[in-house]
Amino acid sequence: MLRITIFIFLVSLGSTCRLALAEEISVFNFSQHSIEKDPRLIWQPVVFAKKKNSTRYVLVRDGDTTVLKATADNSISGLGRQLEIELAKFPILRWKWRITETNLRSDIRSKSGDDFPARVYVLFNINEDELRFIDRAKLKLARYIFGDQVPSAALCYVWSHKEQKNTQSWNAFTDRVRMIVLRSSADNVGLWAQEERNILSDFEKAFEMPAPQISGIVLSSDSDNTNAVSIAWYGDVTLQGEN
C-alpha cells in the first residue's frame, strides 16, 4: 500500500501559507490550543487509504504545554498543512517528538516494514517539465496505478528501529519519496528529541536538482503493515530562515 504518494486532504480550511517576510513560520502550533479542541478541525486530516483504520490524534497536556498525541493501532493517517513557501527563504525545519518504543518490524527498504511510530513528511511542488524523461515516466506510471495524488517529490523523516541515524533510502513504494532516519531504537526512546533539518540541503542531495516550493507538511504515525500499536507525541513545528 502506497504511503504519502496517495494521500488525500479531506478538508480545506484555507490554511495555505504565503508568508514571505516573517523570520519564522508556524506550521503546527499545538502549544497555542486547548486540549478540548479536535485537531482534525484545525489541521487537515490526511487519509492514505480509505479501507484502512485511521490513527487517532488528540491534543494533550505535557507539563505546561499542549502537544499532539498520535496512537496508531493497526492504522494509518496523518495531519497536514498545505503551504506555499519559498524553500530558499525558510530552509530550516524544527520540531520535537517523542515515542514510547520503536516498532521492531520497521524497515525503510521493505513494503511490509513501511511502518513508523513517528514521521514528518515535507512535500514539494515540482514543475514536472523539469524532471528527466525517466522520472516523468515513473511518475506517470505511479499515478496511473495509485491515482493523481502521487506527489512529484517528498522528504520523509522517520523514527525507525534498526537503521542508524542519517540512513537514507528511497521509499519502498516509490522513488519520489526520500526516507531519512533521524532516530533509532537507541535514541532517546521515552524522551523528547529536538530535531532541526536543512530541508533545502536534504532535497538537493536526494533529488539532485534545485529545490522548488514547499507545498505541504504532514505528520503521520502508522502501523497498518506490521499490525502493531505505537504511540507518539509531536511538539510545535516551525520553518525558519538560516541564521
What is the pLDDT confidence band of residue 52, given thresholds at 50, 70 and 90?
A: confident
pLDDT at 71 over 50: yes
Cell numbers 502501523 label which residue? 223
Q: Which helix (H) or strand (E) holds 206?
A: helix 199-207
The whole-chain average pLDDT of the chain stands at: 85
Residue 240: how many other CB atoms lie within 10 Å: 16
In order, the DSSP letters of 33-79 are S-TTS-GGGTSEEEES-TTSBPPEEEEEEETTEEEEEEEEESBEEEE
Q: What is the mean pLDDT of residues 102-113?
A: 93
What is the pLDDT confidence band of residue 32, given thresholds at 50, 70 and 90?
A: very high
What whole-number distance in Å separates Cα of residue 89 and Cα of residue 239? 9
What whole-number distance in Å separates Cα of residue 42 and Cα of residue 131? 35
pLDDT digits (tens, 9 = 90+) for 161-172: 989 999 999 988
Q: What is the mean pLDDT of residues 190-211?
A: 94
The pLDDT value recorded for residue 203 is 96
- Which of 46-55, 83-92, 162-171 shows the lowest per-residue confidence on average (mean pLDDT)? 46-55
The pLDDT value recorded for residue 19 is 44
The pLDDT value recorded for residue 128 is 65
Q: What is the mean pLDDT of residues 203-232?
A: 93
Residue 12: how many other CB atoms lie within 10 Å: 9
Q: Are 219 and 123 in contact (CB under 8 A)?
A: no
Q: Record the pTM.
A: 0.87
The SS3 assignment for 122 reads strand
pLDDT at 15 over 70: no
